[in-house]
Amino acid sequence: MKTFSAKAQDHNPTWWVIDAKNQILGDVAVAAANLLRGKTKPTFTPHVDTGDFVVVLNAAEVRLSGKKETQKIYTSKAGYVGNQKVENVERVRARRPQLLVERAVKGMVPHNRLGRAILGKLKIYEGAEHPHEAQNPKPFAV
């Protein structure tokens, strides 16, 4: 019996829409990461991009459980002395709410060039409108 290995050129991706309104951030991120990676398909191959495109709507209205809204922090550092920036979820949501979903999904995909290619297929929008109607996306329930 031969081992099956998917080819990137034979893959035909589909488009999915996830509505994040009043959903837990982690649940939305897990669903998006699994669809992006292709783990829901029988042709999943770890080293090949066999995933689908994912559109996440209403990213501004995603929920976090517990006290994470005020206690969870995001840090960034440019490499200079004293240049560490820290902000909590409230400030990130006010500044750019798409970052909450983007950072959560980014942590769930591989941290290499395949992961960067996979993240290019993730489209996140603050509201309920999106410009991908021509691709006929299917709704995905979280």
Predicted pLDDT of residue 125: 98
| Whole-angstrom distance, CA of residue 132 vs CA of residue 28 | 19
The label of the residue with tokens 């691709």 reads 135
| Whole-angstrom distance, CA of residue 76 vs CA of residue 38 | 30
Predicted pLDDT of residue 73: 95
Predicted pLDDT of residue 8: 86
Whether pTM exceeds 0.85: yes
Predicted pLDDT of residue 4: 87
pLDDT in tens, the chain (142 residues): 888 889 988 889 999 999 999 999 999 999 999 999 999 999 999 999 999 999 999 999 999 999 999 999 999 999 899 899 999 999 999 999 999 999 999 999 999 999 999 999 999 999 999 999 999 999 999 9
Long-range contacts of 74-77 (CB under 8 A, 24+ apart): 74/99, 74/103
Domain boundaries of the chain, sorted by first residue: 14-63+97-139
> What's the Cα-to-Cα distance from 131 to each of 31, 33, 66, 124, rounded to whole Å?
21, 21, 34, 11
**DSSP readout, 65-100?**
-TTHHHH-EEEEE-SSTT-EEEEEHHHHHHH-THHH
CB-count burial class (<10 Å; 0-12, 13-18, 19+) for 29: buried
Say yes or no: domain 14-63+97-139 is CATH 3.90.1180.10.
yes
